[in-house]
Structure 1
Amino acid sequence: MSVIIVENKDKVIAKLSEIIEETARISIQKRGKFLVGFSGGSLATFLATGLPKIQTDFSKWTIFFCDERVVPVNNPDSTFGLYKKTLIDSGAVPLKDEQFVQIEQGVPADVAARAYENKVREHFPKANTPRFDLLLLGMGPDGHTCSLFPGHSLLEEKSKWFAPITDSPKPPPSRVTMTYPVVNNADVCVFAAAGKEKADMIKRILVDKEDLPATRVRPVSGDLYWIIDNDAGQFLNTQTSV
């Protein structure tokens, strides 16, 4: 695990963009494609700012969701809807709707999760567990990541690639989420956080090693990066500064 502490949010976005650009370059060079998982929340703001500045062949990208809310695309809670607005419709980057692997519309969470897993399997036809090139993860104020919440039974899910959740403690309640076997099989996982409101949770995860969902992100044979600004990392004992 690499903890990278930078001066402010702008530097967090710059470093995040640098890692995305380099990971995409390597993946496209090796296999002619880049398979990346997006999360929502503040990450969407970071990507809307950072992605237009990177050098990459966006036509080689396929974008999945680390989790998605079971709501229509035009609902404000839709993660795809957010990226459609900020990245596609805005013209910020040359990505198309069909490059995003989206959940089924108008079905319950369990049906949406099974259908989503089947879509993902089309991109990893021979895999026991998919190996994404990069997962861009978020961390909530309770330490959740994807839609894996503290104390929830989904933390122990071992067989499904994507699972439904209908009792999310954070609205909306119905979601589809990536599970730990998939998260921890990724080639690269990245958390990016900025602001003093993140500091206490960062300490609990990185210093205290408290058993929280974000703490359980430990790629088996990949790299894990935490990119945080000075405010978010104010309680860290050991710092890797750039």
Structure 2
Amino acid sequence: MSHCKPKVTVRENGEEVCTDLCTYIANCATEAVANHGAFFIGLSGGSLANTLAKGLPLIETDWSKWRVFFCDERHVPFDNADSTYRVYKEGLFAKVPLSDKHVFKIKPDITVEAAALDYAKQMKDAFGEDCDWPIFDLLLLGMGPDGHTCSLFPTHPLLEEETVWVAPINDSPKPPPSRITMTFPVINRAKHSAFAACGDSKASMVQRVLEGDEKPPLPAAMVQSCEVCWFLDKAAASLLTAKL
């Protein structure tokens, strides 16, 4: 795992960020399919879901090769408004020829601990039984106002998890409290990770994550995949001091 400096792209507005991000995703998909015949991608919720729902239906890609996981998921029924799967099913999956059997979902009707174990098993089955750690082609990550990413929150013990692929959390400081999340050993083995952030409200945290030197580091600053890309609009990048 390399610890490369994140690549930062700044665009005028959210529409341009969406276009750039979705072009990047399409390129990652093409590269992955050429290399090993499938595209393993992890999705995150929040504002990112709305961005992807707008941009991804417009890209050129072989959807039959996509294998879609969720970087984290709320432990709620699929008809609950908090379900990330529901947001993508209604906003994106209904618009593209992606087979439901290639979308890997949690089981919300079992305990969150059992759901985490089951999701790790689904991952193991998809990547192959001989896989020690999954290597995702691309993880699309979000960043919360406290600097969290996935369901990995500042100072939480899960930041130190080193043995499991998927962990349960029952004490999320952001509701709903019960979730599952990929762990950093999985996140940091990904070939590519990408964040997208737009708006003035993101500017302070973007600056802290990309230019700060906080101890302990904010979770979003702990992402050290082979390539980490940030797609920002001018408002979100407004407090960065480095020349971009």
Q: TM-score range by the shorter chain?
A: over 0.9
Alignment partner, residue 201 of structure 2: 197
CA offset at residue 155 of structure 1? 0.3
TM-score, length-normalised on structure 1? 0.95
Aligned to 2:102: 99
* Secondary structure of 1:228's aligned partner: strand
Percentage of pairs with the same residue: 48
Matches within 5 A, 1:69-218: 69-89=74-94, 92-125=95-128, 126-210=130-214, 211-218=217-224
Distance in 2 between residues matched to 1:116 and 1:44, nearest whole Å = 21
Match for residue 3 of structure 2? none
Which residue of 14, 22, 31 maps to 1:17?
Answer: 22
Q: CA deviation at 1:73?
A: 0.5
| Residues 104-113 or 92-101, more deviating | 92-101
Name the amino acid aligned to 2:16.
K
Contact 1:5–1:239 (Cα < 8 Å) also in 2: no
Report the Cα offset of residue 237 of structure 1. 1.1
CA shift for structure 1 position 129:
1.1
- Is 1:231 the counterpart of 2:231 in the alignment? no
* Partner Cα distance (1:148, 1:114) in 2: 17
1:50 aligns with 2:48: no
Partner Cα distance (2:213, 2:59) in 1: 33
Q: Which whole-Å CA distance do the structure 1 matches of 2:97 and 2:118 have between them?
A: 27
Secondary structure, aligned partner of 2:92: helix
Deviations 1:28-87 (A, max 9, x none): 111111010000001101100110111000111010000001111000000001111111
Output the amino acid matched with 1:35.
Answer: F
Question: Counterparts of 1:177 and 1:20 in 2: how far apart (Å)?
Answer: 22
Using the TM superposition, give the Cα deviation of residue 238 of structure 1 relative to its aligned residue in structure 2, in angstroms. Answer: 1.5
Distance 1:54 1:133 in 2: 17
| Backbone CA RMSD of aligned residues | 0.9
Alignment partner, residue 63 of structure 1: 68
Task: String of CA shifts for 1:138-167, please: whole Å, max 9, x gaps.
Answer: 000110000000110000000000000000
Gaps of 5+ in 1: none
Point out where structure 2 has 5 or more consecutive residues left out of the alignment: 1-5
Q: 2: CA distance between counterparts of 1:3 and 1:67?
A: 24
**Partner letter of residue 218 of structure 2?**
L
Using the TM superposition, give the Cα deviation of residue 118 of structure 1 relative to its aligned residue in structure 2, in angstroms.
0.5
Whichever residue aligns with residue 87 of structure 1, its letter is: L
Alpha-carbon distance in structure 1 between the residues aligned to 2:199 and 2:96: 27
2:143 aligns to what SS in structure 1?
Answer: coil
> Does the aligned pair in 2 maintain the 1:87–1:95 contact within 8 Å?
no
Counterpart code for 1:208: G
Secondary structure of residue in 2 paired with 1:116: helix
Letter in 1 for 2:208: R
| Paired positions, count | 236
1:209 offset after TM fit, Å? 3.1
Q: TM-score, normalised by structure 2?
A: 0.95
Runs of 4+ deviating beyond 6 Å = none
In the alignment, the residues of structure 2 paired with residue 137 and residue 161 of structure 1 have an alpha-carbon distance, to the nearest angstrom, of: 16
Q: Is the CA contact (8 Å cut-off) linking 1:209 and 1:215 kept in structure 2?
A: no
Residue-by-residue CA offset, 1:212-235 (whole Å, 9 max, x unaligned): 00000012xx11101101000001
CA contact (8 A) 1:146 1:178 kept: yes
Q: Return the alpha-carbon distance in structure 2 between the equivalents of residues 8 and 75 of structure 1.
A: 31
Distance 2:222 2:205 in 1: 14
